[in-house]
């Protein structure tokens, strides 16, 4: 109907994408509005995650550098208290809480300190894994939204495309012929919805893959940190 009204009323045909959006049908405007909203959500998530990962990368680098130079769990505890909070410090704090609340199965002797049994070490490993999973869940918060937007927005664009094609056929029916003047507005409207959908989906998919890769990297580092912490306790003779 849009193209037919332009031709019947002698209205000027839109010359820019913005004019085309403003003169499109209500349903197409709703589709485009939803795409704009999805784009704003995805960019907000990406900017927020970029800042979060940047702060975490800096705090993590400082903590791991100091951790490598520590020779005991007490030294690591001091490093943890002095530095900013990070997933690594929270994993260590959880391990330290477990150590403080658990009585070693092997009592201290004049030759050695009290030691944890194999079952207690396994329990500590489970505690570290649980805290690591919790930190990974915190890191991935809102990231799946990017995948959802990246997969849904092309479908929204397809809906706009179909509506534009319908408009083109209505233009043919109204004009009584299939000349370019009758079908061009509807086709242009369809292509605008498609372009908008791609503009929303591409950054969202890129952002999801980028942050998912970062999360996997931090997750591997956290698992390695847990193993190194247990190894440090072994060197101290606590296990």
CA 155 to CA 34: how far, in whole Å? 12
Half-sphere exposure of 152 (CA within 13 A, CB side): 14
Give the long-range contacts of residues 93-98, CB within 8 A, separation 24 or more: 94/127, 94/128, 94/131, 95/124, 95/127, 95/128, 95/131, 95/226, 95/229, 98/123, 98/124, 98/127
CA 125 to chain centre: 28
User: pTM here?
Assistant: 0.77
pLDDT, one tens digit for every residue, the chain (239 residues): 444 444 443 445 555 655 666 666 677 778 888 888 999 999 999 999 999 998 888 888 888 888 888 788 888 888 888 877 888 888 888 888 888 887 777 666 666 667 777 888 888 889 889 999 998 998 898 999 999 999 999 988 888 778 777 776 776 677 665 556 556 666 777 777 788 889 999 999 999 999 999 999 888 888 888 888 888 888 877 66
- Is residue 2 within 8 A of residue 185, CB to CB? The reply is yes
User: Where exactly are the structural domains of the chain?
Assistant: 16-105+112-236
CA 208 to CA 194: how far, in whole Å? 21
């Amino acid at each position: 109907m849009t193209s037919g009204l332009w031709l019947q009323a002698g209205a000027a045909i839109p010359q820019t994408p913005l004019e085309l959006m403003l003169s499109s049908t209500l349903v197409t405007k709703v589709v485009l509005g939803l795409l704009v909203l999805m784009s704003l959500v995805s960019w907000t998530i990406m900017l927020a995650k970029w800042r979060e990962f940047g702060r975490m990368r800096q705090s993590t680098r400082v903590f791991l550098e100091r951790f490598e130079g520590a020779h005991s769990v007490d030294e690591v505890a001091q490093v943890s208290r002095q530095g900013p909070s990070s997933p690594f410090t929270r994993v260590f704090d959880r391990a330290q809480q477990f150590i403080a609340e658990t009585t070693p199965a092997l009592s201290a002797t004049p030759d050695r300190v009290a030691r944890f049994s194999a079952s207690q070490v396994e329990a500590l490993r489970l505690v570290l894994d649980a805290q690591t999973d919790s930190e990974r869940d915190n890191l991935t918060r809102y990231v799946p939204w990017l995948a959802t937007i990246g997969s849904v927005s092309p479908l929204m664009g397809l809906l706009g495309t179909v509506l534009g094609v319908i408009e083109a056929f209505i233009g043919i029916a109204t004009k009584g012929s299939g000349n370019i003047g009758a079908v061009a507005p509807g086709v242009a409207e369809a292509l605008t919805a498609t372009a908008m959908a791609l503009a929303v989906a591409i950054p969202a998919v890129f952002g999801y893959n980028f942050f998912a890769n970062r999360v996997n990297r931090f997750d591997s580092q956290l698992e390695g940190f847990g193993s190194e912490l247990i190894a440090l306790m072994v060197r101290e003779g606590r296990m």
